[in-house]
Copies of this chain bind each other. A is one copy, B any other.
Amino acid sequence: MKKVSIKDIANITGVSTATVSRVINNNGRFSEETRLKVEQAIKDTGYQTNFNAKSLRINKSYSVGILVPDITNSFFGNVVKEIEIELFNHDYSTIIASTGRNPEKEYNYIDMLTSKMIDGLIIISGLNYSSKQESVHDIEVPFICIDRELNTSKSITLITSDHYQGGIEAAKAFAETGIKKPLIIVRDTNTTSTMERIEGFRHQLINEAIPFGDEQIFELHSTDTITIRSQIKTVLERNKGTDGIFAANDEMAALILKVAQNMDIKVPEDLQIIGFDNSSISKYTNPSLSTIEQNTEEIAKTAVKYLLNEIDGSSPKERKKLIPVRLIKRGSLKKNN
């Protein structure tokens, strides 16, 4: 039951370990005859490369880490899944770390991962390290960010959806249906993605001559559903005549829908709603939710491409890449005429 090593193959075939290694890696010279012998022995014995030894020797592990707040979130889950597929296609394996948005844990994980000799790191929606400067600065492996910019001096590659465009699309769709008094409800006005969305939304509304001021922006960061619901209710009560809401994500949009319906506000007749992410929720509400879809596949592919480039050191570093988003119109938006 002992693991068979390159040495065993060497013994069986009567050549040296060096030659066996050459055959396995198809590297250097060897006769056709030896190749066949070695390959046969490998098949017979079920030999598998010991990647620890290999990594130790060549100083490369063929694995990359992903730091993600929570894979059960629809957007994150999809991105991670696509990254994993893409990396697998490049013979890399993926070590996933769920930080649960906990800075302590995120820091521990970076430690754990870097000492496991990952070749690179992908940070999805990482936290900001204003207080804990140390964390991100001394990562010695190549790494890139997805979705959120870290406010650090270092210049870091960022792949993100074009949230500004998302804001524009939402505003356009609202304008087309003759909206007068829109609102935007977000989770956290401090993230770059949220700020971009708000700016795009505002910009396009003003283009369309629909007034939009800061008092039409609401920030709801509670994680508790009951609290959020009552906050939404308050917002709706205090803003009679609101006829369109652009929500932080589909879950928020679904909650808004529920609350509105409880208050006898008709969607989409009296109130139109646009969510974000095109998660499965958005398809099954009644009416179904219009939403801005992020192109998770493209984000993942781009991220992997850039990261592998940085690992190979083959091509110049990109600074920032915006991936277009797409509005999906569903029942929560009136048909435009």
Q: Which residue of B lies closest to A91 (CB)?
A: B112
Q: Considering the chains assembled together, what is the distance between the CA atoms of A150 and B222 in angstroms?
A: 43
A208 contacts B by Cβ under 8 Å = no
Write out the residue numbers on chain B whose beta carbons fall within 8 Å of the beta carbon of A78: 72
**Interface mask (A247-260 → B, CB under 8 Å = 1, otherwise 0):** 00001001101100
Which residue from B108, B109, B113, B281 sits with its C-beta under 8 Å from A281?
B281
Residue-wise, chain A 272-302 has the 8 Å CB interface mask toward B (1 for contact) of 0000000111011110000000000000000
Residue from the list B95, B98, B286 in contact with A85, Cβ < 8 A: B98
Establish whether residues A115 and B286, one from each chain, have CB atoms under 8 Å apart when the complex forms.
no
Residues in B whose Cβ lies below 8 Å from that of A255:
284
Q: Which chain B residues lie closer than 8 Å to A84 at the CB level?
A: 96-98
Is residue A242 within 8 Å, beta carbon to beta carbon, of the partner chain?
no
A102 to B88, alpha carbons, bound, how many Å? 13
Q: Does A116 contact B (CB under 8 A)?
A: yes
A49 at interface, CB cutoff 8 A: yes
Is A94 in contact with chain B by the CB < 8 A criterion?
Answer: yes
The interface residues of chain B lying within 8 Å CB-to-CB of A261 are 286
State the CA gap A129–B108 with chains docked (Å). Answer: 39
| Residues of B with C-beta under 8 A to A117 | 50-52
A253: min CB distance to chain B, Å: 9
A113 contact set on B, CB distance < 8 A: 93
Residues in B whose Cβ lies below 8 Å from that of A283: 254
Instruction: Check if A80 is an interface residue, CB within 8 A of chain B.
Output: yes
Question: Assuming the A-B contacts A48-B111, A280-B281, A284-B281, are A93 and B77 also in contact, with contact meaning beta carbons closer than 8 angstroms in the complex?
Answer: no
Q: State the main secondary structure of chain A at its contact with B.
A: helix
Q: Is A161 an interface residue (CB 8 A)?
A: no
0/1 string, A89-107, CB within 8 A of B gives 1:
0000111111010000100
Tell me whether A226 is interfacial, beta carbon within 8 Å.
Answer: no
A138 part of interface (Cβ distance < 8 Å)? yes
Tell whether A55 is near chain B: CB-to-CB under 8 Å.
Answer: yes
Q: Which of B81, B138, B285 contacts A284 (CB 8 A)?
A: B285
Q: Is the CB of A96 within 8 A of B96?
A: yes
Does the CB pair A115–B50 fall under 8 Å? yes
Interface check A39, CB cutoff 8 A: no
Pick the contact of A116: B51, B96, B108, B111 (CB < 8 A): B51
Cβ contact of A1, chosen from B100, B116, B140, B258, cutoff 8 A:
B140
